[in-house]
Chain A
Amino acid sequence: MLIIPCPHCGPRDEIEFACGGEAHIARPLIENKISDADFADYLFIRDNPKGIFLERWRHSAGCRKWFNLARDTVTHEIIEVYPTDSLPKKAAARTSYSSSWRRHTVAEKAAKIGKHSQTEGTK
């Protein structure tokens, strides 16, 4: 049984939460056309590390807010709780973020507004 420290409600039993899987998966922008194989990286392929995993959780039977956890998949130790729109601060969790293969995928690059992008949201 995990006791998860909800950033809003404090430590609660796992049964109150829903797990949303891998965190930090950015959706490729529609105007950045990428191949089906690259899109599969975003849609289906998942990081599945033996060790520190950055994942999304939701306090579904509590405050119903989303947040991120850095959790060890071998010891189940919760290393850090942090907001969904930021990166973890602890070094080990940070390494887990930067060393993920996903950082180098075309899908992730295509999630950013780039020179090929025709969106007007760049201002």
Chain B
Amino acid sequence: MAQNQPDRGQRKLPGGSQRYSAFALAKKAINYHQDWERAWRDPEPKPEYDAIIIGGGGHGLATAYYLAAVHGINNIAVIEKGWIGGGNTGRNTTIIRSNYLWDESAAIYEHSMKLWEGMTQDLNFNVMFSQRGVLTIAHSEHELREMSRRVHAIRLNGIDSEILGPAEIKKFVPAINIDQSIRYPVMGGFLQKRGGTARHDAVAWGYARAADDLGVDIIQKCEVTGLRRQGRKIIGVETSRGFIKTKKVGCVVAGHSSVVAAMAGIHLPIASRPLQALVSEPIKPILDTVIMSNAVHMYISQSDKGEMVLGAGVDKYNSYAQRGSFPVPEHMLAAAVELFPVLSRLRMLRHWGGIVDTCPDASPIISKTDVEGLYFDCGWGTGGFKATPGSGHVFADLIANDQPNKIAAPYTLERFRSGLLIDEHGAAGVAH
């Protein structure tokens, strides 16, 4: 797939705004770091905005940033009911990759990958993007054959991907157990070297700071309680801090998408489910890449602090509780210990759940709705973090132009009527 570089926009820092650099760090050290400016303002909501983004997670903040930086729409607000990055942005396992099976998925996730590759410079904020590789493991002959078919499809889309045998995997990940006698033996795997991890909080903070620099109001502790319509047109949002007038509302609220959609009388094909993750006590470096296993629903990496970061499969029932059931992490830990016996006596420090918005075809919805001026970016399910910049970029484009660009076009709500689904269930190493 011959893809052009995405339009990163022109970010002009207003006079007086501080830039982060080694020099700035040294300069501030003289004053014991007492005079750092706050990274973004805490404004009162204005009575009216050109556009309002509901949801101050990574996707919402990225949308606001690209609206301002690429499309020059600065009179916008991001409305967040809690604190920015406090939902799924701060609850995921930070894995980034673009090795998806279908052309439509390859287009959006690779678009995202290119934005990741320049994000730290674009935002002048270190998001600690580390292309340490993502290795997905096959545990059966059939899975390996299916995997090689996917690898070829992925490579045809111009995305790096390679098959490794058990011996090569052992060389790449010395801590792994490739003994063929275990319940789910390592038969092979495929690696995307450009994949990796990033610091999830920094992604939210970086976009927030950059968007704020461009005049975007980030309004926290402000819950949307209703969407006000005039006929088929949106005219504003009701919030816990009063009514705010606007003509365009972009809704990026992940697990609560169905709740906000219902405020406008729209129904989505989404089920909200808990997705759990946990981290261990910190240990010395043993794993310098990301390991995923689709068959046993496990993914693992090691943070820079030394904690092992583990993610499980999605829970089987709908929930808004931000916690899941114990058997899910138990199942995942059993698989993790079998693959990495060194983990067996490790203690887990923290365990949490996030509410993910799962779609019937495991692909997102980036779409206009039947209500004029109301847009949805949701349905990212269990794999939204990797898409943060790409999702924000194309969603900003949709809001600005009122029509989807080439990358976003396949992701409309209309596909559930036409049947043109983008079936990514189990494809390209997606752990669902």
Binding site for B on A (CB under 8 A): 1-2, 13-15, 18-19, 21, 36-37, 40-41, 43-50, 53, 55, 71, 73-76, 101
| CA of A21 to CA of B318, assembled, Å | 8
What B residues does A75 contact at CB under 8 A? 321
| CA of A47 to CA of B261, assembled, Å | 11
Given contacts A21-B318, A45-B267, A49-B258, 5 further A-B contacts (CB under 8 A): A13-B327, A19-B317, A48-B271, A55-B318, A73-B319
Known A40-B416, A101-B267; judge A50-B256 contact (CB<8 A).
yes
What A residues does B318 contact at CB under 8 A? 21, 48, 53, 55, 73
Of the candidates A14, A40, A50, which one forms a contact with B327 in the assembled complex, judged by CB atoms under 8 Å apart? A14
Are B317 and A50 touching (Cβ within 8 A)?
no
| CA of A1 to CA of B330, assembled, Å | 12
What A residues does B62 contact at CB under 8 A? none
Are B416 and A50 touching (Cβ within 8 A)?
no
A109 shortest CB reach to chain B, Å: 16
What B residues does A50 contact at CB under 8 A? 256, 258-259, 272, 320
B137 shortest CB reach to chain A, Å: 25
**For residue A57, which residue of chain B has the nearest CB?**
B317
Are B269 and A45 touching (Cβ within 8 A)?
yes
Of the candidates A2, A36, A44, which one forms a contact with B317 in the assembled complex, judged by CB atoms under 8 Å apart? A2
B334 shortest CB reach to chain A, Å: 13
Binding site for A on B (CB under 8 A): 256, 258-259, 262, 267-272, 316-321, 325-327, 360, 416-419
Are A48 and B317 touching (Cβ within 8 A)?
no
| CA of A36 to CA of B418, assembled, Å | 7
Known A1-B325, A1-B326; judge A48-B270 contact (CB<8 A).
yes
What A residues does B325 contact at CB under 8 A? 1-2, 14
Q: What does DSSP make chain B's interface, helix, strand, loop or mixed? A: loop
Known A15-B327, A36-B417, A50-B259; judge A41-B267 contact (CB<8 A).
yes
Number of A-B residue pairs having CB atoms within 8 Å of each other in the complex: 66
Are B320 and A46 touching (Cβ within 8 A)?
no
A34 shortest CB reach to chain B, Å: 12
| CA of A53 to CA of B419, assembled, Å | 27
A59 shortest CB reach to chain B, Å: 14
Known A18-B316, A19-B316; judge A37-B270 contact (CB<8 A).
no
Known A15-B327, A18-B316, A19-B316; judge A45-B268 contact (CB<8 A).
yes
Interface centre among B262, B317, B327, B416, by most A CB within 10 Å? B317
Q: List 10 A-B contacts (CB under 8 A).
A: A14-B325, A40-B417, A44-B269, A44-B416, A55-B318, A73-B272, A73-B318, A75-B321, A101-B262, A101-B267
A114 shortest CB reach to chain B, Å: 23
Are B321 and A76 touching (Cβ within 8 A)?
yes
B275 shortest CB reach to chain A, Å: 15
A60 shortest CB reach to chain B, Å: 11
| CA of A40 to CA of B360, assembled, Å | 12
What A residues does B267 contact at CB under 8 A? 41, 45-47, 101
| CA of A41 to CA of B419, assembled, Å | 12
What A residues does B316 contact at CB under 8 A? 18-19
B265 shortest CB reach to chain A, Å: 8
**For residue B330, which residue of chain A has the nearest CB?**
A15
What B residues does A71 contact at CB under 8 A? 317
A53 shortest CB reach to chain B, Å: 6
| CA of A101 to CA of B261, assembled, Å | 12
What B residues does A14 contact at CB under 8 A? 325, 327
Known A37-B417, A40-B417; judge A46-B271 contact (CB<8 A).
yes
What A residues does B360 contact at CB under 8 A? 44
| CA of A76 to CA of B319, assembled, Å | 7
A75 shortest CB reach to chain B, Å: 7
A58 shortest CB reach to chain B, Å: 11
A9 shortest CB reach to chain B, Å: 18
What A residues does B417 contact at CB under 8 A? 36-37, 40
B335 shortest CB reach to chain A, Å: 16
What B residues does A46 contact at CB under 8 A? 267-271
**For residue A105, which residue of chain B has the nearest CB?**
B267
| CA of A37 to CA of B267, assembled, Å | 12
Are A55 and B317 touching (Cβ within 8 A)?
yes
Known A15-B327, A40-B416, A44-B360; judge A74-B271 contact (CB<8 A).
no
**For residue A100, which residue of chain B has the nearest CB?**
B267
| CA of A55 to CA of B319, assembled, Å | 12
B129 shortest CB reach to chain A, Å: 33
| CA of A36 to CA of B416, assembled, Å | 9
A45 shortest CB reach to chain B, Å: 5
| CA of A47 to CA of B271, assembled, Å | 8
What A residues does B268 contact at CB under 8 A? 45-46, 48
What A residues does B271 contact at CB under 8 A? 21, 46, 48
B257 shortest CB reach to chain A, Å: 8
**For residue A38, which residue of chain B has the nearest CB?**
B417
What B residues does A45 contact at CB under 8 A? 267-269, 416
B266 shortest CB reach to chain A, Å: 10
B365 shortest CB reach to chain A, Å: 11
